[in-house]
A and B are shown apart, each in its own frame.
Chain A
Amino acid sequence: MVDYSWNVIIFQIIFPSMGVTLLMVLCATVLACLLGFCLAIALFWVGKHGLSPNEKCYATLNIVVSFIRSFPFIILAISILPITRFITGSVIGWESALFPLTVAATPFMGRIFENCFKEVSLDLIDAARSFGATNLQIVFKILIPATLPSIVNGGVLSVIQILSLTTIAGTLGAGGIGASALIYGYQSFNDKIMYTLVIVLFVLVLAIQLLGDYVYKRIK
């Protein structure tokens, strides 16, 4: 075990990995949000009380979502390595980690957003139909505005989920705070680095949560 000075810990470990973590979380969140949103709308669209119910479609989507969600992230990431390489041209580096992160986080977000949409009373949707709204208008003028606060809450949950996934992505060469905590802390038996980085992660989670709560209050 090497005992690194605070100077090294802060400038050579925390700062660079913080940058990678933030980039990874940000990009993966944006991607997973967009895709998860589309997925949620698809799920809701063909769902039992949805806009255009279709049992078979729903069952298929449902199985795919549950299937992906049943994978432990590390195994998912390894199983889709060939696809990752095909899409990102490589399997190492944080840019490549975005793909498995997005694949793992999308079904998670999809489910969360779908549950948000399910909160909307069926009467409200009927009311929208009754004044002649199209299905798309129901999504964008009713579902989303009515559930925006829950969507924000779900989003915060997902961001934190992605943050914890980046730790595992780190073991596949993506880097980041979680990975540094594992490499320089856990695997090197260096508790000082490990717990310092855990505190950094904690501050990050706290910041995300507080920001989310603030936005939630504002738009509620």
Chain B
Amino acid sequence: MITIENLHKRYHDTEVLNSINITIDDGDIYGLIGRSGAGKSTLLRCINGLETFQGGSIVIDGVDIATLHDKSLRELRKNIGMIFQGFSLIDRKTVYENIAIPLECWHIPKPEQKERIEKLLKIVGLESKRDQKARDLSGGQKQRVAIARAMVMNPKILLCDEATSALDPKTTDEILELLLELNKEYGITIIMVTHQMSVIHRMCTKMSILENGHCMVSGDVKEVFLEQPQALQNLVGILECNLPETGINIEVLITDEAVGQQFHSDLSLSLKKPYKLINSSLTHYREGVLSAFVINVSQEDYQDFLDYFDANHLNYKRIERE
């Protein structure tokens, strides 16, 4: 378990992280999302001690990392893998040699190295590329090698900093699938820093939204998307559709896939009142589908619609034109 309490981090005079409070449970896939410069990478690097911080604490499995130095800090890092957007491999070394570097640093005997690396190569699907130079690999393959290298010390936690940002959608999918598999298979805790909402949907159980060094929202991914807090709206700009000038606009969010599918027919059949569909979206995330509809109704009918939504326990919100 990772507990981040009241974390403060400054570079000279600029506050980069400001009272961050986050708790991450074992086995979670935790998403950190935010605009560029929000402090996501910095937060991630604080977790494995690549950055120091000025206030607050980060406790990992009962150990306050601020108390660690040299040897003990390196021991901690051994249990925390990390992957980056840029793969960061030694291009002129082979896949096998790249994955072996951490093992060499920790003086693992050669036979055991071989065993671990070959097992991981199987998991990341690169058995056939074992002796190929890293520079001859595709982006996706490079990231697989990076993942294997991060996993080779059998860490309990994997930190991913924009791990898929440099990849095309299909390759992104494959890498995310691989990470999910690692999470399921080994119960490894994954912290994903990303600016791609789809990554959060797809992977994460919990998430935090960072804005200018502040943690604006933390919670279950599903709940955050249901609540549509301002921070999320700032991020995704969900209302970027043109709202009509007349009438009243209501946004309805439905987490039950079946309910979402029937929403329109149910609504028109029961209420028999006219409404305009302004926007609708379906988002697949890890535990289901979120349907979001924006409808426009007349002033007179507004109350009837609200009554209907209340009776059917639907999550709704009146939204105003800017």
Which residues in A have some Cβ–Cβ distance to B below 8 Å?
121, 123-124, 126-134, 137, 141-142, 145-146, 148-149, 219-220
Min CB–CB distance A54 → chain B (angstroms): 15
Asked whether, in the complex, the Cβ of A127 is within 8 Å of the Cβ of B77, the reply is no
| Known contacts A145-B92, A145-B93; A130 and B50 CB within 8 A of each other | yes
Chain B residues packing against A (C-beta within 8 Å): 45, 48, 50, 74-78, 80-86, 88-93, 101-102, 104-106, 146, 149-150, 152-153, 159
Known: A124-B90, A127-B88. A133 touches B102 (CB 8 A): yes
Shortest beta-carbon distance, B273 to chain A, in Å? Answer: 57
In the assembled complex, which residues on chain A have CB atoms less than 8 Å from the CB atom of B82? Answer: 126-127, 130-131
Can you name the residue of chain B whose Cβ is closest to the Cβ of A134? B74
A130 touches B93 (CB 8 A): no
- Residues on A with beta carbons closer than 8 Å to the beta carbon of B105: 128, 131-134, 137, 141
Q: List 15 A-B contacts (CB under 8 A).
A: A121-B86, A123-B84, A126-B88, A129-B77, A130-B48, A130-B50, A131-B150, A131-B152, A132-B153, A133-B102, A141-B101, A145-B93, A146-B90, A149-B92, A220-B92
A142 partner residues in chain B, CB cutoff 8 A: 90, 101
Contact A219 B92 (CB under 8 A): yes
Which residues of A lie under 8 Å from residue B93 when comparing CB positions? 145
Residues of A within 8 A of B152 (CB): 131
Interface of A is mostly: helix
Residue contact A128 to B78, C-beta cutoff 8 Å:
no
Q: Is the CB of B50 within 8 A of A121?
A: no
Q: Is the CB of A131 within 8 A of B153?
A: yes
Question: Taking A145-B93, A146-B92, A148-B92 as contacts, is the C-beta distance between A132 and B102 under 8 angstroms?
Answer: yes
A150 to B229, CA, bound (A): 52
Task: Determine the distance from Cα of A129 to Cα of B77 in the docked complex, in whole angstroms.
Answer: 8
Chain B residues near A124 (CB-CB < 8 A): 88-90
Nearest Cβ distance between residue B147 and chain A, in whole angstroms?
12
Q: How far is the CB of B68 from chain A (nearest CB, A)?
A: 11
Please, how many angstroms separate the alpha-carbon atoms of A216 and B92 in the complex? 12
How close is A128's CB to chain B, nearest CB, in angstroms?
A: 7
B86 CB contacts on chain A under 8 angstroms: 121, 123
Which 9 pairs between the two chains have the least Cβ-Cβ distance? A130-B82, A132-B74, A131-B102, A123-B88, A132-B77, A124-B88, A132-B78, A127-B88, A133-B105
Q: Which residues of A have CB within 8 Å of B88? A: 121, 123-124, 126-127
Q: For A219, what are the chain B residues with a Cβ–Cβ distance below 8 Å?
A: 92
A45 to B150, CA, bound (A): 24
A131 neighbours in B (Cβ, 8 Å): 77-78, 81-82, 101-102, 105, 149-150, 152-153
A126 to B89, CA, bound (A): 11
Complex Cα distance A21/B91, Å? 37
Chain B residue nearest in CB terms to A122: B88
CB distance from A52 to the nearest CB of B (A): 11
B84 and A126 contact, CB distance less than 8 A: yes
Smallest beta-carbon distance B145→chain A, Å: 11
Question: For residue A131, which residue of chain B has the nearest CB?
Answer: B102
Min C-beta distance of B106 to chain A, whole Å: 7
Q: How far is the CA of A63 from the CA of B90 in the complex (A)?
A: 32
CA distance A93 to B8 in the complex (A): 64
The smallest beta-carbon distance between A124 and chain B, in angstroms, is: 4
Q: Which residues in A have their C-beta under 8 angstroms from that of B45?
A: 126
Q: Which residues from chain A contact B159 at a C-beta distance below 8 Å?
A: 130
- Most chain B beta carbons < 10 A, residue from A131, A141, A145, A219: A131
- A128: chain B residues within 8 A (beta carbon): 101, 105
In Å, the complex CA distance between A142 and B100 comes to 12
| Residues of A close to B75: CB separation below 8 A | 132
Contact A132–B106 (Cβ < 8 Å): yes
A145 to B92 alpha-carbon distance, docked (Å)? 8
- Name A219's closest neighbour in chain B (CB-CB): B92
Closest chain A residue to B70 by CB distance? Answer: A134
Chain A residue with minimal CB distance to B75? Answer: A132
Query: Are A130 and B77 CB-contacts (below 8 A) given A141-B105, A142-B101?
Result: yes
Nearest chain-B residue to A138 (Cβ)? B105
CA distance A126 to B82 in the complex (A): 9
What's the nearest-Cβ distance from chain A to residue B199, in Å? 19
Partner of B50, one of A129, A134, A137, A146: A129
B residues less than 8 Å from A148 (CB atoms): 92
